Structure 1
Amino acid sequence: MAALIDKVAWIHLENGLVLSTRSHGKDAYYLPGGKREPGESDLDTLCREIEEELSVAVVRDSAALLGVFEAQAHGHGQGVVVRMTCYTAAYEGVLAPASEIAELVWLTHADRHRTSPVDRIIFDRLRADGLLR
């Protein structure tokens, strides 16, 4: 049985671009979000992680499930799978990197090679849905 990393991510799109982040010391970009803490709901995880990483508050009642995606976990041994539960949502505040986040970037589908394997699947879905240029 494969090890599973359970994560929740925020899909924030503007003008055909998707918000992504790079953590200090990392070479790949990741969709903002993170691992669920014991007993947390998807929405609790989403709100906590986005506030910690990006200094903004997710508008809870605007959150909508985009989908659940799985792939080999980037930077982990073979057989470690990440399951990413993705939500869109409005936010309040000014986006700014915080905590372990070194930079915020806006990516297109052409940038998918700069992301983790699960993010590449999500980028493909966003492109197929006409949301990502």
Structure 2
Amino acid sequence: MKEVDKIAFIKIKNGQILSTKSKGKSKYYIPGGKREFGEIDEQTLVREILEELSVKIKTNTIEYVGTFKAQSDGAKEGVLVKMTCYKAEYVGILKASSEIEEIKWLNYKDLEIVSEVDKIIFGFLKENGELN
């Protein structure tokens, strides 16, 4: 079974989670992406969030949330995405950049417009009382 290894940035504000939609996609995704060769999680998180959202992660605030797996959207059956999630503070103003078309704050009721792995993460955050 193939796994796609991704790092994700969990940012909650007023019971909503920061989500992004890439150009040409219909679903929203928690921001982040695939690690480049030799990168550790922290390096991937910092690089991807700077590329996608134009903000700089404060590395001393990075906190592990959890690792979640589900069928990868748009991939053949049996290809899983493994999403390792971190919370952190950032410096700067959120601005869609690179392949990101839109930034949106979502609630638990928005499950129908997010990826399969994000649905699991939304559920986890809802159970923990963090997501409305």
Question: What interval of TM-score do these two structures reach, taking the shorter chain for normalisation?
Answer: over 0.9
- Tell me the equivalent position of 1:92: 91
What secondary structure, in the 3-state scheme, does the structure 2 residue paired with 1:78 have? Answer: coil
Question: Hey, what's the Cα distance between the residues in 2 that align with 1:80 and 1:35?
Answer: 15
Summarize deviations over 1:59-104 as a string: whole Å, max 9, x none.
0010000000000001100000000000000000000000000000
What secondary structure, in the 3-state scheme, does the structure 1 residue paired with 2:122 have? Answer: helix
- Tell me the equivalent position of 1:129: 128
The percent of aligned pairs where both chains have the same amino acid is 49
**Residue identity matched to 1:16:** G
What secondary structure, in the 3-state scheme, does the structure 2 residue paired with 1:37 have? Answer: coil
Question: Hey, what's the Cα distance between the residues in 2 that align with 1:61 and 1:82?
Answer: 27
- Tell me the equivalent position of 2:37: 38
Aligned length: 132
**Residue identity matched to 2:62:** A
Question: Hey, what's the Cα distance between the residues in 2 that align with 1:20 and 1:60?
Answer: 20
Question: Hey, what's the Cα distance between the residues in 2 that align with 1:38 and 1:79?
Answer: 24
Tell me the C-alpha RMSD between the 2 structures: 0.3
Deviation of the 1:119 alpha carbon: 0.2
Deviation of the 1:114 alpha carbon: 0.5
Q: TM-score, normalised by structure 1?
A: 0.99
Q: How does 1:1-133 map to 2 (within 5 A)?
A: 2-133=1-132
> Structure 1 regions of 5+ residues with no counterpart?
none
**Residue identity matched to 1:68:** T
Question: Hey, what's the Cα distance between the residues in 2 that align with 1:132 and 1:113?
Answer: 16
Summarize deviations over 1:39-64 as a string: whole Å, max 9, x none.
00000000000000000000001000
Question: Hey, what's the Cα distance between the residues in 1 that align with 2:112 and 2:123?
Answer: 11
**Residue identity matched to 1:127:** K
What secondary structure, in the 3-state scheme, does the structure 2 residue paired with 1:130 have? Answer: coil
Deviation of the 1:112 alpha carbon: 1.3
> Structure 2 regions of 5+ residues with no counterpart?
none
